[in-house]
Chains A and B, each alone.
Chain A
Amino acid sequence: MSAALSRSDFVKWTASFAGSFVLLAGRDGVLTPAKAQAAADFSPNAWLRIHPDDTISVFINRSEMGQGVMTGLPTLVAEELDVPLARMTVEVASPAPQYLYPGQREMSTGGSVSLRSSWKPLRQAGANARAMLVQAAAQRWSVDPVSLTTRDGKVVHAASNRSATYGSLAAAAAKLPLPSDVALKVPEQFALIGKRGTQRLDVPSKVDGSAHYGIDVKVPGMRYAAIARCPVFGGTVKRFDANQAKAIKGVLDAVQISRGVAVIADNTWAAFRGRDALVVEWDEGPRAGNESAAMFAEAERLARDPSRSTATTKRGDVSSLSGRSLDAIYYGPFLAHATLEPMNATAYVRDDSCEIWAPTQAQSRAQAAAMRITGLPAEKIVIHTTMLGGGFGRRLQSDYIEEAVELSKAIKAPVKVTWSRADDLQHDFYRPMIVDVMRGVLDAGGRIAGLSCAAYGDSGSEVADATYQIPNLLVTTVAADHGVPTGAWRAPNANWTAFVMESFLDELAHAAGQDPVAFRLAHLLPDSAAAACLKLAAQRANWGTARAGISQGVALGFWNGSTCATVADVALNGSMPKVRRVTAAVAVGIAVNPEIVVAQTRSGVNYGLSAALRSKITLKNGRVEQANFDTYPVMRIAEAPAIDVAIVPSDASPTGIGELGVPAIAPAVSNAIFAATGKRIRRLPFSDAQDA
């Protein structure tokens, strides 16, 4: 049990709760309610419910956005319970105290911690349930529990050739006291964890169109809405005229809310057209002059001004070092998340309750926001988490949910707010723009004596990662003040820091006349995960023996306890890289589902590469200039590399994989470009170097 909630409280709570929602819903798009809590169900804890018909409901507190939690988390339960994974249905719980692990403050999905945080509690939940089922069978057959085994969802008494399914034991098990100190399996006993060939539970619904995303939600009486938001961040509505909008067939009304003007319609397209026909006069506020080139110049000025910055890491004294030094400045653009499913949310606020259907990574935050807007207590606010058509950190924000709640409250009807692609690209919480002023000093032996990074924004924090053995280190940062909303973007900080650090290390390696792999190894502890990954990747990529027309680059990436070494094999098409092949070696502790580790590594590599090739968000007159995939280009299959992923074997507790592939790919490609051309890229995306 995670929280100090007794089982009877839990049963009462779930029974009174209209909330749970089966994500593996039918193809007609109708929301199928969770199997109601029945008297004969066995619910030893918040996480699972064994039904008399031998089906098992597993409740998870993380959102499925492609990273595999709907498979990985139930795998932990199934492993200890000895049931086939395919017998489980999985639901994302609505936020409530019993769905928080010990020490977890809120329900959200980020930081690649889903599996790591679930590793003990969900296995324990399965093991405890199994112990109670065994006990129930022992009582039924009057035998010693130690004479019983479990497999395939059954308790077996081999001596008497008897067996009983879990469903048939559910009612009896439910009457037993909750056990304590039930031992977990040791790795040698794992039948599912670490094994290949487990089918993802969400895949069938994603090949026949039945997977149910936020944008697919339809509830009785629901209206459709689109919102006009101020094109300048922080601006507000002065006045608006909705006459032309209301003349459009299907448009019902226009309503001002705190973020803009909403057009209410009876279908999405009418809402979009009505929104486009609105005439809104904005008070654009103080940011209407934001312009990208000037913002970068100002950021560089601030980063270089020691009186403005504070040291976040200081080791030794870089300034006193003499020796060969290298100076460089790196620039990174704002980036949008560009989840393929644009932001959307559906809300229904009644006098005494509020229901929200949303593709969200941040249930607790959304619930808290809905409490503020509606004045209702937490237990009256139910969040149905749908499938997420991508997350990448964007859906850790609750802005798009708040709009729907506010609007539903205003119009007293259920309403779905759908964002257009332009809305999505122009009202994101962006990966911050970055300027890093770097300085490195080599000692007489060609080792790094010291490194400094003066960073604008968040970007410096992880240059200080202790992975590399560098005796003198100084990182300073100056806070960004540009008024552009920023937020977590897949592998926050690391997604940029790796580009700076690993490109600059490459510069230093070349300055020292050393091979980039050997140079990195010389600065790593020999038994570190980073060294293991680097050697494995170099070996699999045949480092140093590149084929004609191909150059190689290497980089390391770190994310929240996980490590990835990446080698990129790159050909050049003009000055644009064509990445032929990527080799990634990852250390993630035990790989609970090796295929998902491979798929997620590939996903991260492609996400990072896509952004590095051509993506950037720029501002002019305070407005985001990009509006769709023509102006914010993303990578398609023709440019996608073949990606070889190797997993460093381990029995240690799992870390995370959802973001790990991102950080190292851009520097690996950039370092390969340098190897081919001698041209060092210090500004992303690569397409900008092409223009220059």
Chain B
Amino acid sequence: MISLNVNGRHYDLDVPDEMPLLWALRDVAGLTGTKYGCGAGLCGACTVHVDGRPQRSCVMPVAAARGKTIATIEGLSPDRSHALQKAWIAEQVPQCGYCQSGQLMAAAALLARNANPSDDEIDAAMTNVCICGTYDGIRAAIHRAAVPTRKP
């Protein structure tokens, strides 16, 4: 039995230690917003936050998440009110939508450490795959949600 703290809730999951966090979340905890795209840390569809940092959950054994604070797309806000969710809606970013949970979680982690990223910083941080090619929209939405740094 593994105890996890996900989106502020406590879960007791009867899963083997080595099961990737992704599948524990999706199949056992029922949190299907986090997606499977490659299973090898290559696409970012499974991105969640572990202690506030972006983590590709397909390559993290569930046991390694014990005692840590996990956030998934379902916990980004209760009502789509996170600045990035609003920006994503304003820019109408998603197409098929399958990558977007991961994109939003990666972007949220980026903005948490860099309130106003440049294009180059976005390029470096946002390595998630979008097969539908919503990249223009993702870039615009991150800028929209960013807090402009005030010049002194």
Chain A interface residues (CB < 8 Å from chain B): 27-29, 65-68, 199-200, 202-213, 215-216, 218, 224, 249-250, 267-269, 272, 338-342, 387-392, 418, 420-421, 595, 599-600, 602-607, 610, 628-630, 634-638, 640, 642-643
A45 to B99 Cα, complex, angstroms: 36
A391 neighbours in B (Cβ, 8 Å): 96
Q: Contact between A603 and B76 (Cβ–Cβ < 8 Å)? A: no
Q: Contact between A216 and B94 (Cβ–Cβ < 8 Å)? A: no
A603-B132 contact in complex given A27-B74, A204-B80, A268-B26, C-beta closer than 8 Å: yes
Q: Contact between A224 and B27 (Cβ–Cβ < 8 Å)? A: yes
A209-B96 contact in complex given A269-B23, A603-B132, A637-B135, C-beta closer than 8 Å: no
- Min CB distance B110 to A, Å, is 12
A605 to B136 Cα, complex, angstroms: 12
A199, A249, A599: the one contacting B95 at CB < 8 Å is A599
Q: Contact between B96 and A387 (Cβ–Cβ < 8 Å)? A: yes
Q: Contact between B26 and A340 (Cβ–Cβ < 8 Å)? A: no
**Closest B residue to A606 using CB positions:** B133
A340-B129 contact in complex given A27-B74, A599-B95, A630-B42, C-beta closer than 8 Å: yes
A390 neighbours in B (Cβ, 8 Å): 96, 98, 131-132
Q: Contact between A207 and B94 (Cβ–Cβ < 8 Å)? A: yes
- Min CB distance A435 to B, Å, is 27
- Interface hub of A269, A420, A634, A638 (most chain B Cβ within 10 A): A269
Q: Contact between A637 and B38 (Cβ–Cβ < 8 Å)? A: no
Q: B30-41 vs A: 1/0 string, CB under 8 Å? A: 111111111110
Q: Contact between B98 and A595 (Cβ–Cβ < 8 Å)? A: no
A421 to B139 Cα, complex, angstroms: 27
B70: interface (CB < 8 Å): no
- What secondary structure prevails in chain B residues at the interface with A? loop
B147: interface (CB < 8 Å): no
Q: Contact between B30 and A636 (Cβ–Cβ < 8 Å)? A: no
Q: With contacts A207-B88, A208-B85, A269-B23 known, what are 5 further pairs, Cβ within 8 A?
A: A207-B93, A207-B104, A209-B31, A340-B129, A640-B133
Which residues between 99 and 147 of chain B lie within 8 Å of chain A, taking CB atoms? 99-101, 104, 122-124, 126-139
**Closest B residue to A600 using CB positions:** B95
A341-B96 contact in complex given A29-B32, A204-B89, A628-B38, C-beta closer than 8 Å: yes
B16: interface (CB < 8 Å): yes
B30 neighbours in A (Cβ, 8 Å): 28-29, 218
A338 to B43 Cα, complex, angstroms: 11
**Closest B residue to A29 using CB positions:** B32
A607 to B129 Cα, complex, angstroms: 12
A216 neighbours in B (Cβ, 8 Å): 26, 32
A250 to B18 Cα, complex, angstroms: 13
B94 neighbours in A (Cβ, 8 Å): 66, 200, 202-203, 206-207
A635-B42 contact in complex given A199-B89, A268-B27, A389-B98, C-beta closer than 8 Å: no
Q: Contact between A629 and B38 (Cβ–Cβ < 8 Å)? A: yes
- Min CB distance B57 to A, Å, is 12
B138 neighbours in A (Cβ, 8 Å): 637
Q: Contact between B33 and A209 (Cβ–Cβ < 8 Å)? A: yes
A-B pairs, top 9 by smallest CB distance, nearest first, are A209-B33, A606-B133, A389-B98, A206-B97, A66-B95, A66-B96, A640-B135, A209-B73, A638-B123
A204 neighbours in B (Cβ, 8 Å): 80, 89
A210 to B34 Cα, complex, angstroms: 10
Q: Contact between A338 and B74 (Cβ–Cβ < 8 Å)? A: no
B55: interface (CB < 8 Å): no
A81 to B100 Cα, complex, angstroms: 33
**Closest B residue to A71 using CB positions:** B92
**Size band of the interface chain B makes with A:** 35 or more
- Interface hub of A340, A388, A600 (most chain B Cβ within 10 A): A340
Q: Pick 16 A–B contacts, CB within 8 A, sort by A.
A: A66-B97, A203-B88, A207-B94, A267-B19, A338-B131, A340-B98, A420-B39, A421-B38, A603-B134, A607-B133, A610-B131, A628-B40, A629-B40, A636-B129, A640-B135, A642-B136
A207 to B42 Cα, complex, angstroms: 21
**Closest A residue to B97 using CB positions:** A206
B85 neighbours in A (Cβ, 8 Å): 207-208
Q: Contact between A207 and B133 (Cβ–Cβ < 8 Å)? A: no
A268-B23 contact in complex given A340-B43, A637-B139, C-beta closer than 8 Å: yes
B27 neighbours in A (Cβ, 8 Å): 224, 267-269
B64: interface (CB < 8 Å): no
B134 neighbours in A (Cβ, 8 Å): 599, 602-603
Q: Contact between B40 and A421 (Cβ–Cβ < 8 Å)? A: yes
A640 to B95 Cα, complex, angstroms: 16
A207 neighbours in B (Cβ, 8 Å): 80, 85, 88-89, 93-94, 100, 104
B89 neighbours in A (Cβ, 8 Å): 199, 203-204, 207
Q: Contact between A630 and B40 (Cβ–Cβ < 8 Å)? A: yes
Q: Contact between B43 and A637 (Cβ–Cβ < 8 Å)? A: no
A634-B131 contact in complex given A200-B92, A341-B96, C-beta closer than 8 Å: yes
**Closest B residue to A604 using CB positions:** B133
**Closest A residue to B72 using CB positions:** A209
A65, A199, A208: the one contacting B96 at CB < 8 Å is A65
B45: interface (CB < 8 Å): yes
A66 to B132 Cα, complex, angstroms: 8
A203 to B100 Cα, complex, angstroms: 10
B39 neighbours in A (Cβ, 8 Å): 272, 420-421, 628
Q: Contact between A249 and B16 (Cβ–Cβ < 8 Å)? A: yes
Q: Contact between A339 and B97 (Cβ–Cβ < 8 Å)? A: no
B54 neighbours in A (Cβ, 8 Å): none
A630 neighbours in B (Cβ, 8 Å): 40, 42
Q: Contact between A269 and B95 (Cβ–Cβ < 8 Å)? A: no
A339-B131 contact in complex given A209-B34, A209-B73, C-beta closer than 8 Å: yes
A387 neighbours in B (Cβ, 8 Å): 96-98
Q: Contact between A211 and B97 (Cβ–Cβ < 8 Å)? A: yes
Q: Contact between A27 and B135 (Cβ–Cβ < 8 Å)? A: no
A200 neighbours in B (Cβ, 8 Å): 92, 94
- Min CB distance A491 to B, Å, is 14
A202, A215, A340: the one contacting B130 at CB < 8 Å is A340
A200 to B93 Cα, complex, angstroms: 10
Q: Contact between A209 and B137 (Cβ–Cβ < 8 Å)? A: no
Q: Contact between B74 and A605 (Cβ–Cβ < 8 Å)? A: no
**Closest B residue to A344 using CB positions:** B36
A224 neighbours in B (Cβ, 8 Å): 27
B127 neighbours in A (Cβ, 8 Å): 636-638
- Interface hub of B16, B23, B42, B92 (most chain A Cβ within 10 A): B92
**Closest B residue to A206 using CB positions:** B97
A212 neighbours in B (Cβ, 8 Å): 32
Q: Contact between A267 and B96 (Cβ–Cβ < 8 Å)? A: no
A291 to B131 Cα, complex, angstroms: 28
A643 neighbours in B (Cβ, 8 Å): 136
- Interface hub of B37, B43, B85, B126 (most chain A Cβ within 10 A): B37
- Min CB distance A398 to B, Å, is 20
Which residues between 1 and 57 of chain B lie within 8 Å of chain A, taking CB atoms? 15-16, 19-20, 23, 26-28, 30-40, 42-43, 45
Q: Contact between A269 and B20 (Cβ–Cβ < 8 Å)? A: yes
Q: Contact between A595 and B92 (Cβ–Cβ < 8 Å)? A: yes
Q: Contact between B38 and A199 (Cβ–Cβ < 8 Å)? A: no
A250 to B73 Cα, complex, angstroms: 27
